[in-house]
């Protein structure tokens, strides 16, 4: 049994799922990630001490960690097109030195992300509750 997510996480996940995306929520109910049916990209979200969206790449780099925080916030994703654009965003310029990548080699897929973090985060796929 999972912890009950924060109400704002449930509302966000319901809204994103209604647009046709897949939402994974961590067992603690405060963060997770979005993907689409291809599962080729991961868009992280957090409702810890404010809200944030993060693009995820790998492997973990001593230069740049595992991703970047986006300027957009979860509440900024109001349309399917906005979710798609955030999900498929490219890393910012600071992850490059000249034309060379600094540490990261790929944009993370769902399979890679779960392999790295599912044992600690215990993600589950959000399913909106049906109205009676």
Residues of 3-26 as b/e, b for ≥16 C-beta within 10 angstroms?
eebbeebbebbebbbebebbbbbb
Give residue for tokens 């600690």.
120
Residue ranges of the domains in the chain?
7-124
| pTM of the predicted model as reported, rounded to 2 decimal places | 0.89
Report the pLDDT value the prediction gives residue 65, as an integer from 0 to 100: 79
131, pLDDT greater than 70: no
Peptide bond into 15 cis (omega under 30): no
36, pLDDT greater than 90: yes
Report the pLDDT value the prediction gives residue 60, as an integer from 0 to 100: 75
End-to-end CA distance of the chain, in Å?
Answer: 22
Give residue for tokens 């963060």.
31
Which tokens is 78 given? 């109001």
Helix (H, G, I), strand (E, B) or coil at 101: strand
Is-contact 110 42, C-beta < 8 A? Answer: yes
99, pLDDT greater than 70: no
Mean pLDDT of the chain: 88
pLDDT tens by residue, 42-65: 999 999 988 999 999 877 777 777
Q: Which of 43, 46, 22, 21 is nearest to 33 (CA)?
A: 43
100, pLDDT greater than 70: no
| Sign of CA pseudo-dihedral 39, 41, 46, 50 | negative
102, pLDDT greater than 90: no
């Amino acid at each position: 049994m999972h912890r009950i997510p924060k109400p704002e996480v449930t509302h966000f996940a319901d809204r994103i799922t209604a647009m046709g995306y897949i939402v994974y929520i961590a067992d603690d109910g405060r963060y997770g990630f979005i993907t689409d049916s291809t599962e080729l990209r991961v868009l992280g979200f957090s409702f810890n001490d404010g809200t944030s969206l993060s693009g995820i790449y790998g492997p973990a780099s001593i230069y740049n960690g595992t991703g970047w925080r986006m300027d957009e916030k979860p509440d900024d994703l109001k349309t399917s097109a906005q979710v798609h654009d955030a999900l498929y965003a490219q890393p910012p310029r600071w992850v490059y030195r000249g034309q060379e990548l600094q540490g990261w080699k790929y944009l993370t897929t769902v399979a890679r992300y779960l392999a790295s973090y599912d044992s600690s985060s215990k993600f589950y796929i959000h399913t909106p509750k049906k109205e009676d």
